[in-house]
Amino acid sequence: MTESEFHERSEAALQALERAVDESDAGVDCSRSGSVLTLELENDTKLIVNTQLPMRQIWVAARSGGYHFAYDESGGRWLDTRDGTELFAAVSRLLSEQGGQAVAL
């Protein structure tokens, strides 16, 4: 994937994630600074989602650890490099675990 393709795909993913969180009733506040999306839960914990250009990945930092997502060309999705979980499913799970209430994005 070229640098411009990465920027296009990762920006689309961050925008879609931000929209999904804003449209949910999860009580999660979103703030964005460049390629860093901060999701703050009601219990004052955070998930940080950011792009990593050199690795061509999206990284998620949560209380439970760090997660790396690479773009799957065949499926057109961002998948966890360890277990293949899709980005939105993983963020939903992490928000649910960290916030103590079910979140579906």
The domain that contains 12 carries what CATH number?
Answer: 3.30.920.10
pLDDT at residue number 50: 97
Residue 105 lies in a domain: no
pLDDT at residue number 62: 97
Residue 56 lies in a domain: yes
User: Is the CB of residue 40 less than 8 Å from the CB of residue 46?
Assistant: yes
Q: Report the candidate in 37, 31, 38 with the shortest Cα–Cα distance to residue 11.
A: 37
pLDDT at residue number 102: 81
Determine the Cα–Cα distance for residues 65 and 6; give it in Å rounded to an integer. Answer: 24
Q: Which residues span the domain enclosing 38?
A: 3-99
pLDDT at residue number 24: 87
pTM of the model: 0.93
Per-residue pLDDT of the chain (105 residues; tens, 9 = 90+): 999 999 999 999 999 999 999 898 888 999 999 999 999 999 999 999 999 999 999 999 999 999 999 999 999 999 999 999 999 999 999 999 998 888 888
Q: Which tokens is 60 given?
A: 């998620």
Residue 65 lies in a domain: yes
Mention every residue, 6+ apart, whose C-beta is less than 8 A from residue 13: 58, 78, 87
Residue 66 lies in a domain: yes
Domain count within the chain: 1
Determine the Cα–Cα distance for residues 94 and 100; give it in Å rounded to an integer. Answer: 10
Residue 9 lies in a domain: yes
